[in-house]
Chain A
Amino acid sequence: MAPTSTTQPEAPEAGAAPAAGPAISLAGVVKSFRAGSETVRAVDGVDLEIERGEFFSLLGPSGCGKTTTMRVIAGFEDPTEGVVRLDGRDVTGVAANHRDVNMVFQSYALFPHMSVADNVAFGLRRKRVPKAEVTRRVGRILDLVELGHRARHRPSQLSGGQQQRVALARALVNEPSALLLDEPLGALDLKLRQSMQVELKRIQREVGITFVYVTHDQGEALTMSDRIAVMNNGVVEQLGVPAEIYERPATRFVADFIGTSNLVRGVVRAATGDLWKVEVADGATALAAELPGTVTTGSHIHLTVRPEKVRIGTDQPEGEVSRVPGTVAETVYMGAATHYQVDIGGGEEITVYQQNASGSTLVAARGERVWLSWRPEHSYALPS
């Protein structure tokens, strides 16, 4: 509650002076549900600190606990264990209508019996904001989402994308300390979703409010987020900026879930200088820059490498690179790129994406012997 005196005033017109520290913090949050006779731990010990003004994504497959985590922040679920803080204030057990966060629902949950303007004004009216100010703020936010001309319409008269923006405006108009978005673009078609991603990012920059974004779409999370928490089985598997999540997946789950990743079994052989030699497939040598702490010579590990980091060629590559020979099992022409499936022996395949930059599309045909290579810093060792 008590703000530190050195904090600069940054929130434009919020009543209370902003406290120092993260906008949202979760400490040891557990949420279990009773399903018949057994108890399911939907959220199983989550610690998060979401910074002010950040675009933060909770990313994971369905059932990973991301939506439950968000509902705990919103106040729709009470955590079984742990503490939720908003702006440093402990709000665990505080009802949703007394929390300074607003939510954009996947189904939009627009009130069907009210006009667009009345939907947007709902929160302000409950807070007993003076009438003139309600009108002013509703008008301004509807202009921001480019729906000023639709104020008198019912939600059912709007398209999906427009309803989505009304839902956004209805939450944003309250100028909450954080906006929670539960797969808000899930119901839109691809084209609209892409333009709404850009739109959401623009709006977030303009209003400067903390966004917590729940999605199972990794592309969406990677392009929009400042930071991402990848969740699985109720725990955060990895927390980091998009490039870090993509380039350096911390667990096999993250490597597998984010983008396409090759996972190759291997045995650690020896270290030469800074690099570790890893024997993969039928005796080929791959190089790894770093190994997990628990791994020593002789350990069985998985090496990850992204398909676009792998070079494919007919000549044996030179230099300090991983060198793996194989046979092309499949080629798929994708327009901008060609995808190769290469059999490297030992029952393993590596996927390679080759940009079709120089016009010559096919490097190798099906059944041809090829060499795969990648730089040591592009592959990471994960414990088996």
Chain B
Amino acid sequence: MSNRKFTPYVLVLPAWAWLALFFVVPIGGMLSLSLTTGNVVTGFQQTFEVGNYATAVSTYWEQILRSLFYGACATLVCIALGYPMAYWIAFRGGAHKSTYLLLILLPFFVSFVLRTISWRFFLSDNGVVLGPLKDLGLLPEGFAVLNSALAVILGLAYNFLPFMVLPIYAVLERMDPHLVEAAHDLYAGRFQAFARVILPVSLPGVFAGVLMTFIPTSADYVNASVLGGTHNTMIGNVVQTQYLVNNNYPIAASITFVLMGLLLVGIFSYARALGTERVMEVHA
């Protein structure tokens, strides 16, 4: 009898072990590391040096803000491109829905770094996009996209677009198509049906998509280093440099926690805002 009582806990044990080993232990180690002093030659001593955080924020606040800004921009681009794609596949995909989904996932079969590097060719000053436009005189000769904020944001949006499309698609695909008909039946035109029924019903998908694009894009460093040149570094690049080049582990670890804290605060206030909006809607 008592065996049976413990069975669920035994079954869940591997998951707990996995979480402990690959999440709790590393994050504890990082937290401890972020409070040490020293260098790679003499070793790091645990001194509970909270000043590391002050140093991290005061030195790199610019990159932190830039990262959040780039992440937000890329997320908005993903919504603007991804929502229509998800909508089209869900409602107009017909028998070929899975083919279209596969097409969206297809770039994932190529390495992330390789895909980003290919954007260098794509966006280069006289490449496939800018070259013809300059030849036609539509753009000035000196116009460049590469090594700009725009290039980084475009690269981020491109790389994380599927993470926006898939959750929105999942919600739209599950939606009862009669809801749209009911809206039309109750005198709503196409725009009203979208704004009052389809969009609100699909918001949980957008919410999930935002989380899945905003978090990785703000912490990304590949796009900034490949497409952004020297003036558009993100916080990810700083962490990478501090860790791998300067070997300043405490600062790198504290930056990581600052970013993590900011993202958590941002996500919770975002969830809160979305939640409250819904409560208000009921009483409208």
Mark contacts of A91-114 with chain B using CB atoms, 8 A cut-off: 1 yes-contact digit, 0 otherwise.
000011110001101010111111
Mark contacts of B176-190 with chain A using CB atoms, 8 A cut-off: 1 yes-contact digit, 0 otherwise.
101101111111110
- In this complex, the member of B186, B197, B200 whose beta carbon has the largest number of chain A beta carbons within 10 angstroms is B186
Q: Which of B126-151 contact A (CB under 8 A)?
A: none
A-B contact pairs, 20 of them (CB 8 A): A96-B184, A97-B188, A102-B185, A103-B181, A107-B176, A107-B178, A109-B178, A109-B179, A109-B182, A111-B179, A111-B183, A111-B200, A112-B201, A113-B200, A114-B281, A122-B196, A123-B186, A126-B188, A171-B185, A174-B186
* Known pairs A105-B178, A107-B178, A126-B192; A115 contacts B282 (CB<8 A): yes
Size class of the B contact interface (CB-based, 8 Å): 20 to 34
User: B281–A170 contact, CB under 8 A?
Assistant: no
Task: Report A-chain residues with C-beta under 8 Å of the C-beta of B284.
Answer: 118
Interface presence of B272 (CB below 8 A):
no
What 8 A-B pairs come out closest when comparing CB atoms? Answer: A123-B186, A109-B178, A126-B187, A109-B182, A96-B184, A113-B200, A105-B178, A97-B184
Interface presence of A76 (CB below 8 A):
yes
- Give CA–CA (A123, B186) in the complex, Å: 4
Interface presence of A127 (CB below 8 A):
yes
- Give CA–CA (A122, B181) in the complex, Å: 13
User: A113–B278 contact, CB under 8 A?
Assistant: yes
Task: Report B-chain residues with C-beta under 8 Å of the C-beta of A303.
Answer: none
- Give CA–CA (A115, B281) in the complex, Å: 9
Please report B residues at the A interface, Cβ cutoff 8 Å: 176, 178-179, 181-189, 192, 196-197, 200-201, 203, 278, 281-284
User: A96–B201 contact, CB under 8 A?
Assistant: no
Interface presence of A89 (CB below 8 A):
no
Task: Report B-chain residues with C-beta under 8 Å of the C-beta of A105.
Answer: 178, 181-182
- Give CA–CA (A74, B181) in the complex, Å: 10
Task: Report B-chain residues with C-beta under 8 Å of the C-beta of A170.
Answer: 182, 186
Task: Report A-chain residues with C-beta under 8 Å of the C-beta of B189.
Answer: 97
User: A111–B184 contact, CB under 8 A?
Assistant: no
A-B pairs with beta carbons under 8 A, tally:
71
Mark contacts of A349-368 with chain B using CB atoms, 8 A cut-off: 1 yes-contact digit, 0 otherwise.
00000000000000000000
Q: Is the interface of B mostly helix, strand, loop or mixed?
A: helix
Interface presence of A205 (CB below 8 A):
no
- Give CA–CA (A126, B182) in the complex, Å: 12
Q: Report the nearest B residue to A123, measured CB to CB.
A: B186
A97 contact from B185, B197, B281, B282, Cβ within 8 A: B185
User: B182–A103 contact, CB under 8 A?
Assistant: yes
Task: Report A-chain residues with C-beta under 8 Å of the C-beta of B186.
Answer: 97, 102, 122-123, 126, 170-171, 174
Q: Which of A171-215 contact B (CB under 8 A)?
A: 171, 174
Q: Report the nearest B residue to A127, measured CB to CB.
A: B187
Interface presence of A309 (CB below 8 A):
no
A103 contact from B185, B200, B203, B281, Cβ within 8 A: B185
CB distance from A139 to the nearest CB of B (A): 15
Task: Report B-chain residues with C-beta under 8 Å of the C-beta of A123.
Answer: 186-187
Q: Report the nearest A residue to B192, measured CB to CB.
A: A126
Task: Report A-chain residues with C-beta under 8 Å of the C-beta of B283.
Answer: 152
- Give CA–CA (A113, B184) in the complex, Å: 17
Task: Report B-chain residues with C-beta under 8 Å of the C-beta of A96.
Answer: 181, 184-185
Task: Report A-chain residues with C-beta under 8 Å of the C-beta of B278.
Answer: 113
Q: Report the nearest A residue to B284, measured CB to CB.
A: A118
Task: Report B-chain residues with C-beta under 8 Å of the C-beta of A171.
Answer: 185-186
Task: Report B-chain residues with C-beta under 8 Å of the C-beta of A76.
Answer: 181, 184-185
